[in-house]
Amino acid sequence: MESYLNEHFGRVKSKNSSGETLGKWRKLCGLVKNPKRRFRFTANLSKREEAAAMRRTNQEKLRVAVLVSKAAFQFIQGVQQSKYSVPEDVKAAGFQICAEELGSIVEGHDLKKLRNHGGTSGIAEKLSTSTTDGLSTDVDTLNKRQQVYGINKFTESKARSFWVFVWEALQDMTLMILGVCAFVSLIVGIAMEGWPHGAHDGLGIVASILLVVLVTATSDYRQSLQFRDLDKEKKKISIHVTRNGYRQKMSIYDLLPGDIVNLAIGDQVPADGLFISGFSLSIDESSLTGESEPVMVCSENPFLLSGTKVQDGSCKMLVTTVGMRTQWGKLMATLSEGGDDETPLQVKLNGVATIIGKIGLFFAVITFAVLVQGLVSRKYQQGSFLTWSGDDALEMLEFFAVAVTIVVVAVPEGLPLAVTLSLAFAMKKMMNDKALVRNLAACETMGSATTICSDKTGTLTTNRMTVVKTCICMNSKESIFTNTGGEVVVNEKGKREILGTPTETAILEFGLSLGGDFQTEKQACKLVKVEPFNSTKKRMGVVLELPEGKGLRAHTKGASEIILAACDKVMNSKGEVVPLDEESRNHLTATINQFASEALRTLCLAYMDLEKGFSAEDTIPVSGYTCIGVVGIKDPVRPGVKESVAVCRAAGITVRMVTGDNINTAKAIARECGILTDDGIAIEGPEFREKSQEELLKLIPKIQVMARSSPLDKHTLVKHLRTTFGEVVAVTGDGTNDAPALHEADIGLAMGIAGTEVAKESADVIILDDNFSTIVTVAKWGRSVYINIQKFVQFQLTVNVVALLVNFTSACLTGNAPLTAVQLLWVNMIMDTLGALALATEPPNNELMKRSPVGRSGNFISNIMWRNILGQSLYQIMVIWFLQTRGKMFFNLNGPDADMILNTLIFNTFVFCQVFNEVSSREMEKINVIKGLLNNYVFVGVISCTIIFQIIIVEFLGTFANTTPLTLQQWFSSILIGYLGMPIAAAIKMLSV
């Protein structure tokens, strides 16, 4: 079975599978009772095609718009201003431009219209906003603005009501056939025996169908609510906005045209808008247009489109168009119905369901043929072959219903749906544990993870930085305040607040402690060019025009070794610029190493005067600087990290640190966390890149720390580790550069800390509390999902095997089936919906982290599971066969009701065998299956409901379920036989496989 599954169903990746691949495996699932239900939470391939077509249209539209805008720019001076009349309702609200005009300007890249409206400043004026202070927070004005221009929210598909799920559950082909059987049974029964006695069989089937439908619909409806809650969490995005002169963080859904948004590397553009000011702004428009080349946005090309991402640089943006008026809004409306890719486990279990379904269909046809042959033989022997009565028709109908119900029981429709249920349950619980899962398959992948490649800053450390040591030769406030991506502002309460990354915040705090004034220093010089920090360059730089015509100066800061290598002069203790000789360089290098060995993050500051001039189009020089000094920043290790790393090691998961920091800093932190051991290797990115393929194969298993790494280094390491060891979890902090690469299908699971929007969108799991110990929790849940599904599969396949063989062999040997259609429907519900609820939602325990990872290539239906399935099935088949052949004698059953009582006993015993087998299935290897049972309220609830309903069915619904009330002795015997399955299951577990 495993080889067949791997050959036909093992080609779907955990993410980013092509539509063609997803479509192929669905065609292989030939026997699907209810396609609407089976594939409900999976990708809607037609919607994806719509989205792709829209992207292609956008791409062409934007390409034409850019070409037209370029042509218009060349002739713009000679263009006569066209008249634009402001709609009366817009005028009445206090604005001078309507939403449609704004939309046509930005979406069409219409420079001509923009110029006619007075450029960005003119648009701001017509929107009654300030490009410096932003919107007024007056409630009435904001409400008017919202009425005229709309809100920044996208149209979402309406939540489906409970009755929609009821209707979809009724689409089950086998249930519809049984419904027809029930209808015919009612007509024939009432015609022959009158009301109500003749309607009992038909009404019994109808009641069973309705019960199955209601329970199924309730379960599916609850799943849909969980997915909806998770979807809302995924869409929570915040952005920095200036309103009333104060910079504040707010949800993108509260944005209105006229808002001033501050964008930096890693931000998603939250609405359509216009560039006000900024530096080196590079925008990735691939999410909207499909184009991979970044677009440079500036005063000459000021158009910013919603849904695109800031790849480099920073800017202030004027919001012009929001919500469904943007192309991104229309695209999101299409994508919202696209659904998630099928997870590998869902695909594999669909394969299992298909294989077993075909086997079940074969047995159902044979069973029906044997039962009909038995009826025909009996009538032939009685000499009544040519005379058929209503009773004969009802008996034939019952045979057909039994055959159809065998298909109902045999096709384990619940297998792939149990995965969805388990994943939805786990995702909801993980969200409570501060882990937001964006990709269903992430839970499965995490369960198979053998390696965690983690960033240092913000993951292993607190990301709350403070400058604790310095080696600075002069007053450096200018270099600190002008060469920064951060900002010092006054908030609404009048208190000073530092905005920016933790590193920038620490350095600005240090500059302020020296007595510096941020605003004074900023305003004293004019910024000519800014090159923001990124993880590839590991440095940032600015060029300033000094006051009073003193010329131009470049400042740079970044990784100490890189900046120091770019210096040929240094400030001495007297503040004099002197050549950077060998002695001075060695002293600074020793200082850097000393700081790093104390687990401090080091940054070097430097400057140079640009005596030959500088143009904004030029790149900032990379050498010839004067070293100002070095700062050492303390970023303490998070509490609990060392213990979490130890838990991972015990679980067979190796934790490796990948960081851009100095190797001495990285080693010091890694030792403190317990990552770097005596037999491990710490290596720098540049050295790693120079290794040959053969050297890498020997080296990579031993690498525990990689310092001074680039995103490409991390990508290469993760790819090699995944090839060698199995699933790899790559944890990234801000993730601006490396998260998108790690999101690719060939390198497993990308896990992001709640940093930039790029990191969030690219990550499969977002750690909301920035805590490494949460990653361990996710690993535990991942293993729990995998094990829970295995438990459920073991339980369901046991019921499948027994139900099939019992009815088939009985039909062949005795000419009748001991389990009726109604009884089989009840058994189907026990093993399908209720079984999934009980076993697929078991919470994780600490024991899960004391075993080795499952492994990507391991058989899902393991030898241990086959041992348990076959052993338990053999016991149940022997018991039921004994009851069929010796039951009357054993229980001393006589009289006309003997057959009915015996069949009720068989049914009751069979159900209690499944109840106790469900308990035994809680552990596949351990003997003690009771431990923690009472803590799982869902499991206890399901078992309790099963027992209560079984009592009701046997004692009170006999006329509908073909049962009769049993004596206390008979109840005790049924329960005892079922219970004996538990010690037998325990004995079977002792057999080695």
Low-confidence residues of the chain, pLDDT below 70? 1-22, 24-44, 46-48, 51, 55, 58-59, 61-82, 156-157, 193, 198, 290, 331-342, 386, 413-414, 474-477, 492, 732-754, 756-762, 814-817, 854-858
SS3 of the chain: helix, strand, coil, percent, to 5: 55, 15, 30
CA distance 499 to 336: 34
Both tokens assigned to 932? 């923690």
Q: What are phi and psi of 80, to 5 degrees?
A: -75, 140
Query: Cβ atoms within 10 A of the Cβ of 993, count?
Result: 9
- Whole-angstrom Cα Rg for the chain: 35
pLDDT score, position 868: 94
CA distance 233 to 656: 30
pLDDT score, position 552: 92
Strand order in 449-454's β-sheet?
A: 435-437, 765-767, 749-753, 727-732, 449-454, 654-658, 703-707, 681-684
Q: Which helix (H) or strand (E) holds 180?
A: helix 173-193
Is 485 in contact with 532 (CB distance < 8 Å)? yes
Q: Distance between alpha carbon 722 and the CA centroid of its chain, in Å? A: 20
In order of 591, 645, 732, 746, the CA distances from 720 in angstroms are 35, 22, 18, 11
Amino acid at 513: S
CA distance 190 to 527: 93
Full DSSP string of 587-643 = HHHHHHHHHHHTTEEEEEEEEEE-TT---TTSPPPSS-EEEEEEEEEE-PBPTTHHH
CA distance 666 to 465: 16
Q: Which residue is associated with the tokens 């490396």?
A: 738
Query: CB-based contacts of 89: which residues, under 8 Å, 6+ apart?
Result: 148
CA distance 356 to 413: 10
Burial of 613 (0-12, 13-18, 19+ CB in 10 A): exposed
Within 13 A of 162's CA, how many CA atoms are on the CB side? 7
Q: What are phi and psi of 767, to 5 degrees?
A: -85, 105
220 in catalytic set = no
Q: Which helix (H) or strand (E) holds 570?
A: strand 567-571
Q: Distance between alpha carbon 346 and the CA centroid of its chain, in Å? A: 15
47-50, long-range: CB < 8 A, 24+ apart:
47/334, 47/335, 47/337, 47/338, 47/339, 48/19, 48/335, 48/338, 49/19, 50/334
Check 259, 340, 455, 661 and give the catalytic one: 455
CA distance 432 to 415: 26
Q: What is the dihedral of CA 438, 444, 446, 450, to 10 degrees?
A: -150
Full DSSP string of 227-270 = HHHHHHHHT--EEEEEETTEEEEEEGGG--TT-EEEE-TTPBP-
Q: Which residue is associated with the tokens 């290539």?
A: 857
pLDDT score, position 735: 47
pTM of the model: 0.76
pLDDT score, position 110: 85
pLDDT score, position 606: 93
Is 552 in contact with 453 (CB distance < 8 Å)? no
